[in-house]
């Protein structure tokens, strides 16, 4: 049996996504760009593509390890300046969970986390 890959969002990112959906329904497009970046990250993983692995030696890895307890970290280039960060966890014998932790709209956001 082939392993099934399941894409999920961190609880924080899921809340942001649903909040923005409510805003969009009311005609508020303030966070529309961010919303489309979240959808782009989801689509990237659903296409069975793989992001770039982040070395455990890098400060940005330490940020995600402390905040989410990750044991691996990958980065997706969403646009020229925006990035998505996700981890991969076993969901049992036949499932692999790909959890999108955060989506950053521009370099400065994730550079702060990595102390660049």
Q: Is the pLDDT of residue 115 over 90?
A: no
pLDDT confidence of residue 110: 72
Entry field: residues in the chain? 116
pLDDT confidence of residue 116: 58
* CA dist., res. 73 & res. 56, Å (int): 8
Q: Is the pLDDT of residue 39 over 80?
A: yes
Per residue in 88-107, pLDDT (tens digit) is 998 888 999 999 999 999 87
Distance of CA 81 to the CA centre of its chain: 15
Per residue in 52-99, pLDDT (tens digit) is 999 999 999 999 999 999 999 999 999 999 999 999 998 888 999 999
Long-range contacts of 33-38 (CB under 8 A, 24+ apart): 33/105, 34/103, 34/105, 37/78, 37/79, 37/82, 37/84, 37/103, 37/105, 38/9, 38/13, 38/84, 38/100, 38/103
Per residue in 17-36, pLDDT (tens digit) is 999 999 999 999 999 999 99
Q: What is the DSSP letter of 93?
A: T
Domains and CATH numbers, the chain: 4-113 (3.30.2310.20)
């Amino acid at each position: 049996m082939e392993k099934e890959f399941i894409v999920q969002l961190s609880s924080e990112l899921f809340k942001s996504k649903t909040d923005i959906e409510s805003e969009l329904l009311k005609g508020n497009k303030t966070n529309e760009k961010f919303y489309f970046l979240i959808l782009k990250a989801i689509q990237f993983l659903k296409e069975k593509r793989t992001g770039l692995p982040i070395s455990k030696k890098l400060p940005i890895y330490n940020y995600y390890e402390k905040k989410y307890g990750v044991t691996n970290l990958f980065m997706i280039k969403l646009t020229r300046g925006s990035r998505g960060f996700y981890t991969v966890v076993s969901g049992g014998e036949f499932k692999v969970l790909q959890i999108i932790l955060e989506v950053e709209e521009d370099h400065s956001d994730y550079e702060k986390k990595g102390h660049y």
